[in-house]
Amino acid sequence: MKVIEARELTKVYGRGEGRVEALAGVSLDVEPGEWVSVVGPSGSGKSTLMNLLGLLDRPTSGNYALDGREVSGLRGGDLARARRELIGFVFQSYNLLPRQSARKNVELPLVYAGTRGAERRKRALAALEQVELSDRAGHRPPELSGGQKQRVAIARALVSRPAMLLADEPTGNLDTKSGEGILDLFGELNATGVTLIVVTHDPEVARRGDRIVDIRDGLVFADERSRGLEVGE
């Protein structure tokens, strides 16, 4: 069973004169355990694709099955449920709650899943362990470096054991060294079977994935195995 099975996804903003077709019909399959990089120049529609794949926005048309479940027609509570059960988000600007500790931030998805406090704490600490930040569990985001913040965000994405991790320019706000650290962490997670979709405009970052999907003008321009993979294996 595929993690992602998207058929002819389109997204149109506005009407009439101001009508913009951000996605003109994108089909994409992702197998479990794959690391897919989505690249493309700004305005190509890659962010729109990422929002659709992450269920943050609804497609204008097309079908989308996530982890074997058709999700393109979901609304309201069902959509929120699919989001928290199937997808872990990693944002460029981390999007942590600044006044809550790292552990509380990681617990957040579990709160919405209704997990009890003790269990929540245990799983949050385990997720922080996975990103090697156990010693920072009580720190609040302003007390952490950019790389550490992004690790907290990754722990938060992992904690609900989603079908895939969806990362939007995860190294965009980081220096090269911290960025490398995050990509290494992605590598480790991917090695344990975590499916990764990484949206980036940075070829260096893209090359770390198994596959590079190049989006141009709202369409898949190229979809090929990454050379990085050949080097790595």
Partner 1 sequence: MRRTFQIAGMGLSGLLVNWGRTILTMLGIVIGVAAVVLLASLGNGIQKSISGQINDLGPNLITISPGTSGEQDGGDNGPFGAAAASTLTPEDARLVAGLPGVAAASSNVSTVAPVGQRTVSFSGVDPSYDEVRAVGLTAGRFVEGRGEIVLSQADARRLLDSGPDEAVGKTLSVGTPPEEVPERDPEQGSAQGPEQLPEQLPEGVPERLREQVSERLPQDAAPEQAQEPTQEPASEPVRKYEVVGVVEASEVEFGPPVPESSYMSTADALEIAGVETVGQIVVQAERAGAVDWAVDGIGREVRAAHDGARDFSVITQRELLSTFTEITDQLKIFLAGIAGISLLVGGIGVMNIMLVSVAERTREIGVRKALGATNADVLFQFLLEAVLLSLIGGVIGVAVGIAGSAVLPEILTDLPPAVVTANEVALAFGVSALIGVVFGVLPAYRSARLQPVEALRRE
**CA distance to 11, 39, 137, 150, 173, per residue, from 170 (Å):** 24, 13, 21, 7, 8
User: By CB under 8 A, is residue 12 in contact with partner 1?
Assistant: no
Cβ count near 136 (within 10 Å): 20
The sign one gets for the Cα dihedral 30, 49, 91, 124 is negative
The number of residues that bind partner 1 (CB under 8 A) is: 31
User: By CB under 8 A, is residue 111 in contact with partner 1?
Assistant: yes
Contact positions with partner 1 (CB under 8 A) in 122-161? 156, 160
User: By CB under 8 A, is residue 83 in contact with partner 1?
Assistant: yes
Interface residue with partner 1 among 46, 103, 104, 123 (CB under 8 A) is 104
Interface residue with partner 1 among 10, 115, 171, 190 (CB under 8 A) is 115
Q: Which helix (H) or strand (E) holds 36?
A: strand 35-39
Contacts of 81 (CB under 8 A, 6+ apart): none
Interface residue with partner 1 among 1, 113, 191, 222 (CB under 8 A) is 113
Contact positions with partner 1 (CB under 8 A) in 58-77? 58, 76-77
User: By CB under 8 A, is residue 80 in contact with partner 1?
Assistant: yes
Question: Which of 57, 132 has the CB closer to partner 1?
Answer: 57
Q: Distance (Å, rounded) from C-alpha 126 to C-alpha 124?
A: 5
Question: Which of 6, 212 has the CB closer to partner 1?
Answer: 6
Query: What are 211's strand-pairing partners?
Result: 36, 225
Interface residue with partner 1 among 84, 103, 136, 207 (CB under 8 A) is 84
